[in-house]
Structure 1
């Protein structure tokens, strides 16, 4: 099986660290243009962003097994052509890959591809943030509320969370690994229908500061 993958250097390393079964050939692609021009059995866009031009290009491979790293983008018009997976930084390292399938054909794709790769997966509801990204984003957000109120430092909060919950990373370490803008974007979308997800002022201020640098 040939799998064409578009990924960042760190994403590429996560795929390699997860392990590739014998008989699978990975074709690494450096751009969307190269990805869709590559002849393969399966396609993965681990750098997906939901802009019109990119989606139209990916649709050139409609009908082929196609997986996109689309955590916050539930409900995109073309979703029946893609399997959404959670490939946020660090999440491919987990035992199960979190993903959303739409219909029997996508379920068949996923079962066959992941079976050949030797990877385990867990299908989750078709919602923004899936499950684990929602949870981690909420933890990060609450940590920023605590930090913003001057209750504790980032390092102290990270240490307390790791010691108290046995999490592999503290909330601020998660934010750095995933990318604070990704977390903020997800929270911003979720808070439109549920105020519990409203981004903490300290988190929002950091994101705004990053954008003005």
Structure 2
């Protein structure tokens, strides 16, 4: 089995930190893949930017790091979404949104990886919940409840999380959290972006 992976250096390291079936050949590329797809059994796009030549891939399964965009945003039908935010690539179980679970099962069986199928909605499950937690932390920070450092420490000690909400925001990228919340708040006001987060985005203090 041969898999093409579009990823930056940090994403490559996180991808390789997962145990992969030694019979699977992994080929890392930059931002394009059209010339190398002839023999590929699957393509994984970990990059935030979607390649312009995506339309050319009409048969090979394409797994895209698309936390906020749903499947109908893509010009081809052979796309499967996953959460590829920093810190989520090496998780033991991936969240996948797909219209073709049989294909997902085949690819992940070869990789010897686990997945769980989720609804094709912005944020899927984990990213949606984590974004809400981070947003609530910004509400508390903006209201002067405590400092970012103290909120992070309290959350780690109180919930045994590996990171505090602001540490998660820095690791994932506040722009990614903000972008997802702006999509979600259109249909549900409980996702309304905290003023403190909005101010940081406008002033680029992240």
TM-score normalised by length of structure 1: 0.90
**How far does residue 79 in structure 1 lie from its aligned partner after superposition?**
5.9
Q: 1:62 to 1:126 in 2, by over 3 A?
A: same
State the SS of the aligned residue for 1:80.
Answer: coil
Q: What CA distance in whole angstroms lies between the structure 2 residues aligned with 1:44 and 1:93?
A: 14
Q: What CA distance in whole angstroms lies between the structure 1 residues aligned with 2:8 and 2:200?
A: 24
Provide Cα deviations, 1:3-49, integer angstroms capped at 9, x if missing partner. Answer: 001012111111110122111111100112xx222132211111144
Q: Which runs of 5+ in 2 are unaligned?
A: none
8 Å CA contact 1:49–1:70 kept in 2: the answer is no
Q: What CA distance in whole angstroms lies between the structure 1 residues aligned with 2:34 and 2:193?
A: 36
Q: What CA distance in whole angstroms lies between the structure 2 residues aligned with 1:77 and 1:117?
A: 25
**How far does residue 186 in structure 1 lie from its aligned partner after superposition?**
0.2
Q: What CA distance in whole angstroms lies between the structure 2 residues aligned with 1:45 and 1:5?
A: 6
**How far does residue 69 in structure 1 lie from its aligned partner after superposition?**
0.4
Q: 1:204 to 1:29 in 2, by over 3 A?
A: same
Partner of 2:135: 141
Partner of 1:209: 203
Partner of 2:65: 69
The answer to whether structure 1 residue 101 and structure 2 residue 98 are counterparts is yes
Q: Which has the higher helix share?
A: 1
Partner of 2:176: 182
Partner of 1:27: 27
Moved more, 3-12 or 177-186: 3-12
Q: What CA distance in whole angstroms lies between the structure 2 residues aligned with 1:135 and 1:5?
A: 27
1:114 pairs with one of 90, 108, 115? 108
Q: What CA distance in whole angstroms lies between the structure 1 residues aligned with 2:190 and 2:144?
A: 21
8 Å CA contact 1:43–1:67 kept in 2: the answer is yes
Q: Which runs of 5+ in 1 are unaligned?
A: none
**How far does residue 70 in structure 1 lie from its aligned partner after superposition?**
0.4
**How far does residue 80 in structure 1 lie from its aligned partner after superposition?**
2.6
Moved more, 133-142 or 109-118: 109-118
Q: 1:16 to 1:77 in 2, by over 3 A?
A: closer
Q: What CA distance in whole angstroms lies between the structure 1 residues aligned with 2:76 and 2:84?
A: 17
TM-score normalised by length of structure 2: 0.93
Partner of 1:36: 34
Q: What CA distance in whole angstroms lies between the structure 2 residues aligned with 1:204 and 1:25?
A: 43
Q: What CA distance in whole angstroms lies between the structure 2 residues aligned with 1:147 and 1:47?
A: 31
